[in-house]
Amino acid sequence: MAMEESTSLLCNLGVLDTLTDSSLQEIADSYNGFCAATQTLLTGAGDLSVGPEFAAHVRGLCKNGLVSLVRDHFLQVIEETFERNGASKFWGRFDAYSNFADLKKDNDVDFVQRKNSFKALTYSTYNWSQTVQAVPLQFLHALLVYLGDSVSYESTSSGLKSPLAARPSACCPGIDAPSEGLVRWKLRLEYFAYETLQDLRIAKLFEIIVDYPESSPAIEDLKLCLEYTGQHSKLVESFISALRYRLLTAGASTNDILHQYVSTIKALRTIDPAGVFLEAVGEPIRDYLRGRKDTIKCIVTMLTDGTSGNSSASGNPGDSLLEELNRDEEIQESIGADDDFNTDDRQAWINATRWQPDPVEADPLKGSRNQRKVDILGMIVGIIGSKDQLVNEYRTMLAEKLLNKSDYDIDSEIRTLELLKIQFGESSLQKCEIMLNDLIDSKRTNANIKATISAEVGENAISMDVVSATIISSNFWPPIQDEQVILPGPVDQLLSDYANRFHEIKTPRKLQWKKSLGTVKLELQFEDRAMQFTVAPVHASIIMQFQDQTSWTSKNLAAAIGVPVDVLNRRIHFWISKGVIAESPGADSSDHVYTLMENMVDTSKNGGSSGNPQELLGGDEEEERSVASVENQLRKEMTVYEKFILGMLTNFGSMTLERIHNTLKMFCIADSSYDKSLQQLQSFLSGLVSEEKLEHRDEMYFLKK
């Protein structure tokens, strides 16, 4: 048979001549029979009884050299059948689940069910692909082997490798090499399956990542598919556009964006351990976050707030970066090596094209390259550009926190600082450490002063016991916003006694009070009630004034306390809102009269709160911060650079961002040496552009004339 076949292949035309009417008839019959049998076999419900008949027809056709016709027809029918039945069934399954998922999302039902749906989806998909591999492919195998086709194509088919071809098929033993057509078809089918699943997953990637730890089976799917299809760029494109559309909008809070970023990092590092695509996907998020003012603050909060209970944010996976710090503690060995996450993205793409996967055997947890590349904290710091900024913001927040502490309990701060030190290096956090040490020292000094001073001042109305001082080394603290305020006489006396004692103990050091900082706990006793408050010194001074005189005009009161009238008007609102003081228009329109409310009759609605300790801090207004914000500090520094920038642009006409950056680095090295990142400079320059001092076009900056 093999011989006949090869002759027919070689001299088709000759064969045509030898055809007789009877053989033509035979061929036609066989072909029709073959078609019918094929139809029965493939579309029927697994009825194999027509097998012998089918085989007879095939044999008859082969005898007449129509092997290729048989094969083509058969493949075509299989494909049609599959498209008609299998595909619709396949999609039917997905439709069911995607509807399900959508429904769940609309109703905002818990994640567990979604997780189940993802898992079920995954399962059914695998199931399906197994079916595809098993049923028709086996059949094809059997058929083509029967045709003896493999012999004539053996040499060419060995070049085509498919994962399935490599696997010996259990149901048809003794076959070494499948035919080219079969391999091609298998590959197409497989690719189609993988690509379909991949497209499905990519389309839903945003949701998948939102649910990240629960949706990891879906991520695994995607990983498998991408390994096979290699369409990573599709993922990148589609995901970036989803991000732009759904996440990077003014409506999304910075915290949400950061959480999604962290989830993205975690999810994508499963797919792509080297972090190349992650770099590309993360770029728009980073760019966007750089434009937001509160990014640094949010990051620092995420970094530091891990210890104080995750009550508010239970829904967000991977919420606390502090956990990340903790986890890294064990693995992190080299600091300083992680400074290169700013690598040029073009470079990343170049690397991407050359990317070689790690050997499959390599343990993904231990690969040093992976560890370094996809380091969540590193990527987060990468948003800001430099760790200095982050450290600076942390310092400001820490200062704020420490200054508002009335006890000296800083255990959690010490812990956070130690963890940060591991990440950012000891030297950059030195100032923060000094701040914490100040607190520890203060506790000791405070105890010391109180122990030695109490004997001397007996006649003083207020005992020294009520004062606790936080003694700070102001050089190492962020600039502190000090406001003048006149404290009540006895308190002031107490403070200066304290300062004198400090000077005696720690000569030559002197204590300078920042009288507007700190907290005062006080109890107000009225005719009918007592109230407790924890307030800022200014508020305490204000209310103190009402002790002897129950009514003040705003001008007089402001003079007595030593603050401007507008500040007073703002501060006194605290007491008005508490129902302690009433405001009434005075003789002069700008001069208000404040009167102490001695009993609660007029403000009965507040009666319930009487006697309850008020833990509200008297400073809930936004602008009331004891530490100058990092932005303000930065702005102040930047005005020096502004003069330099204007100076250099006057003389050089136009300059690129990089050149301005480098020139500043080179020449602005006097007392406030230039240490800003390129991003900071860029945002500063765009500020100058919007102030119409500069112009920016074609990557160059010009002076606005």
Among 418, 591, 647, 656, binds another protein (CB under 8 A): 647
Q: Of 342 and 404, which CB lies nearer to another protein in the complex structure?
A: 342
Phi (first) and psi of residue 697, to 5 degrees? -150, 150
Binding string to another protein for residues 662 to 691, with x set by CB under 8 A, is what? xx--xx-xx---------------------
Of 81, 493, 654, 686, the residue at the interface with another protein (CB under 8 A) is 654
CB of 658 to another protein, least distance (A): 10
Residues 6+ away with beta carbon under 8 Å from 56? 33
Part of the chain binding another protein (CB under 8 A), chosen from 439-447, 486-494, 515-523, 637-645: 637-645
Tokens of 428: 């950059």
Task: Give the residue, chosen from 255, 573, 644, 696, that forms a contact with another protein under the rule CB under 8 A.
Answer: 644
Identify which of 282, 463, 459, 468 has the alpha carbon closest to the alpha carbon of residue 376.
282
Nearest approach in angstroms of CB 336 to another protein is 19
With CB under 8 A as the contact rule, which of the stretches 113-121, 383-391, 404-412, 646-654 interacts with another protein? 646-654
CB atoms within 10 A of CB 164: 16
Comparing CB distances to another protein, the nearer of 166 and 666 is 666
Q: Which is nearer to another protein, 580 or 664 (CB)?
A: 664
As measured in angstroms, the least distance from the Cβ of 659 to another protein is 9
CA distance 263 to 239: 13
CB of 669 to another protein, least distance (A): 7
Tell how far CA 267 is from the center of its chain.
11
Measured in whole angstroms, the distance separating CA 301 from the mean position of its chain's CA atoms is 13
Q: Which is nearer to another protein, 555 or 665 (CB)?
A: 665
Residue 650 C-beta: closest distance to another protein, Å: 4
| Tokens read off for 22 | 């009877």
Contacting range for another protein; rule: CB under 8 A; set: 27-35, 150-158, 327-335, 652-660: 652-660
Question: Which listed range, 8-16, 25-33, 540-548, 639-647, lies at the site for another protein (CB under 8 A)?
Answer: 639-647
Select from 61-69, 231-239, 640-648, 691-699 the region that touches another protein (CB under 8 A): 640-648
Q: Which of 85, 643, 691, 699 binds another protein (CB under 8 A)?
A: 643
Which positions from 214 through 233 interact with another protein, judged by CB under 8 A? none
| 203, 617, 634, 640: which one binds another protein (CB under 8 A) | 640
Residue 250 or 666 having the CB closest to another protein: 666
Contact 181, 160 (CB under 8 A): no
d(CA 131, CA 136): 8
In 3-state terms, the chain is what percent helix, strand and coil (to 5)? 65, 5, 30
State the minimum distance, in angstroms, from the CB of residue 693 to another protein: 13
Least Å distance between CB 238 and another protein? 38
Among 648, 660, 685, 694, binds another protein (CB under 8 A): 648
Selection from 413, 411, 405, 412 nearest residue 432 by Cα: 413
Q: How far apart are CA 487 and CA 543, in angstroms?
A: 11
Query: What is the smallest separation between the CB atom of 341 and another protein, expressed in angstroms?
Result: 20
Minimum Å distance from CB 646 to another protein? Answer: 8
3-state SS assignment for residue 656: strand
Q: Is 610 exposed, middle or buried (0-12, 13-18, 19+ CB in 10 A)?
A: middle
CA 66, 72, 78, 84 dihedral sign is negative
Give whichever of 91 and 652 is closer to another protein, judged by the CB atom: 652
Q: Of the two residues 229 and 677, which places its CB atom closer to another protein in the complex?
A: 677
Nearer to another protein, 91 or 667 (CB): 667
Q: Which residue from 91, 126, 245, 652 is in contact with another protein, where contact means CB under 8 A?
A: 652
Give the tokens for residue 155: 């040499």
CA dist 621 to 52, 289, 618, 672, Å?
90, 26, 9, 32
Q: Is the four-CA dihedral 23, 24, 28, 31 of positive or negative sign?
A: positive
Pure H helices in 305-386: 321-331, 345-354, 368-373, 376-384
Distance, CA of 653 to CA of 507 (rounded, Å): 56
Classify residue 499 as exposed, middle or buried by CB count within 10 Å of its CB (0-12, 13-18, 19+): middle
Which of 21, 251, 650, 698 touches another protein by CB under 8 A?
A: 650
Smallest separation, CB 184 to another protein (Å)? 54
Q: What is the helix (H) or strand (E) element at residue 217, kind and residue range?
A: helix 216-229
Angle at the Cα of 47 from the Cα atoms of 44 and 50, rounded to 5 degrees: 100
CB of 335 to another protein, least distance (A): 24
Q: Which C-beta is closer to another protein: that of 72 or that of 691?
A: 691
Give me the long-range contacts of 133-139 (CB less than 8 A, separation at least 24): 133/164, 133/186, 133/190, 136/42, 136/78, 136/82, 137/164, 137/169, 137/182, 137/186, 137/189, 138/169, 138/171, 138/172, 139/41, 139/78
Size of the site for another protein (CB under 8 A): 16
Rg (CA), the chain: 39
Window contacting another protein (CB under 8 A); options: 41-49, 339-347, 551-559, 649-657: 649-657
- Rounded CA-CA distance 16/5 in Å is 14
CA dist., res. 442 & res. 453, Å (int): 16
Residue 629: CB atoms within 10 A of its CB come to: 17
Q: How far is the CB of 670 from another protein (least distance, A)?
A: 5
The label of the residue with tokens 């996440």 reads: 247
Q: How far is the CB of 378 from another protein (least distance, A)?
A: 23
For residue 81, the number of C-alpha atoms closer than 13 Å in the C-beta half-sphere is 17
Taking the complex as a whole, the smallest distance from the CB of residue 666 to another protein amounts, in Å, to 5
344 touches another protein by CB under 8 A: no
Of 124 and 654, the one with the shorter C-beta distance to another protein is 654
Per CB under 8 A, the list member of 4, 16, 653, 699 interacting with another protein is 653
Pick between residue 313 and residue 646 the one whose CB is nearest to another protein. Answer: 646
Among the residue ranges 215-223, 250-258, 363-371, 638-646, the one whose residues contact another protein (CB under 8 A): 638-646
Select 585 or 653, whichever has its Cβ closest to another protein: 653
Interface map 587-626 toward another protein (x if CB under 8 A): ----------------------------------------
How far apart are CB 388 and another protein at their closest, in Å?
20
Binding site for another protein (CB under 8 A): 640, 643-644, 647-648, 650-654, 662-663, 666-667, 669-670
